[in-house]
A = this chain, B = another copy of it.
Amino acid sequence: MKKKLSPDEMVKKLLAGDRRAAARLITLVEDEMDEQHEVMRQIYPHTGKAMILGITGAGGAGKSTLTDHIIHKFREQGKKVGVVVVDPSSPFSGGAFLGDRIRLQSHSQDDGVYIRSLASRGYLGGLSRATHDVIRIIEAMGMQIVIVETLGAGQDEIDIIHIAHTCLLVLTPGMGDDIQAMKAGIMEIADIIALNKADLDGANSCIRHLQGVLSVASFMEGEWIPKVIPTVSVAGKPEDLRGIDELADAITEHQAFLRKSRAIDKVKYDRVELELGLIFKDELEKLIFKGLKGTGKKKEYIESIINRKNDPYSVVEEVLNTYLVQGE
C-alpha cells in the first residue's frame, strides 16, 4: 500500500526539488485543505528570491509560443524556470488544454522546467489567492524564475499581473487604432511590450502608435518607460524566430532597473498588501459562517431578504454586530 505523506514530509521533499511533492502541495492549495496554512507557513521562509515574470495578452496573440521560447532562453542561461498558466476557465475555453499539453511535451525531459495550469473555476478566495501560494510552492522547489501566464481580462487576472516583478504584454498588429483607447491599461500593466506576429501587415504602424502612447512625456523622471520589441514566434519554426534575444535582454534590463531604483520594494510591498487583504476576507468569512452554522439563522436571513422584509445590507450589519465584537 502506498504510504500517504504528511504535509511536513511533502514540504521537506519540495524543498529538495521533488516534482511530485510540488504537484501534491499545489493540489492541496487548490482544494483549500485544512493543512494549507501550516504548509504555506513552512514554505514561506524559503521564498522571495525568484524573479516573477508576468506574461499577458489577449487570446490568439501567441502568448504560449512566446512563453515557450522565453523558457528556452532562460534555460540557455542556466536558470531553472517554473510556469503557472492561469486559465480563466469559461465554458468557451475548451481549446486551452491542448496547447498546454504540447508545451509540456517540449520541456518534459528537462528537470529545470516545471509547468502547472490553474483553472479559475471554483476557488473560494478567488484566483489570485491560490496563485500566490502556487507561485511560492514553485519557487520553494528551487525555480529561479517563475512565469505567470494569463489572459489578462478581468479584475482577478489584473491583480495577478500586479504580483509580477516584470510584466510582458503581448500585442499583435492590427490593433493600431485601439491603442490610444488602451493607453491607461498598457501603462498600468506593461513593463515590456512584445509586438508579436511582427511580420504581419500593420506592424510598423502599430509600433509607431505604441511609441506615441509611450512617449517620454507620459512618464515622470526616473520612471521606467516600457520597451516595445517586435517579435515573430511560430510554433515549430525556429528559423522564423525574431526578437527573443532582445526580449530576454529587456527583461534583464528591467530587473536591473527595479533593483537599482529600489522600485522592487514597492512591488513587493504591494504584493503582500494585496495578499493580506485576500486572506483576511477568506478567514473572516469562515469566522462568520462558523458563527451562523447550525443555527438555522442563515436560511432565515436569506428568506427574509427574498420576501423583502429585510435587505442584504441590514442583515450584514446585524450579523456583524451579533457575531463579532471589536476588541481593544
Contacts and interface: CB of A to CB of B under 8 A. Distances in A.
Given A90-B152, A175-B94, A181-B97, A325 B322 contact: no
Nearest to A190: B91
A222 interface: no
Interface in A262-305: 265, 268-269, 272-273, 275-277, 279-281, 283-285, 287-288, 291, 298, 301-303, 305
Contact of A325 (B95, B182, B186, B327): B327
Copies of this chain: 2
B153 A156 contact: no
A216 interface: no
Interface residues of A, number: 85
A109 to B, nearest CB: 28
A219 interface: no
A46 to B, nearest CB: 9
Contacts of A20: none
Contact of A316 (B95, B156, B283): B283
Contact of A306 (B268, B303, B325): B268
A37 to B, nearest CB: 4
Interface string A36-54: 0100110011011000000
Interface in A16-69: 37, 40-41, 44-45, 47-48, 57-58
22 contacts: A40-B312, A41-B311, A44-B308, A44-B312, A88-B154, A90-B153, A95-B181, A121-B158, A154-B157, A156-B156, A269-B303, A276-B301, A280-B320, A283-B316, A283-B320, A287-B320, A287-B326, A291-B326, A322-B327, A323-B327, A324-B326, A325-B327
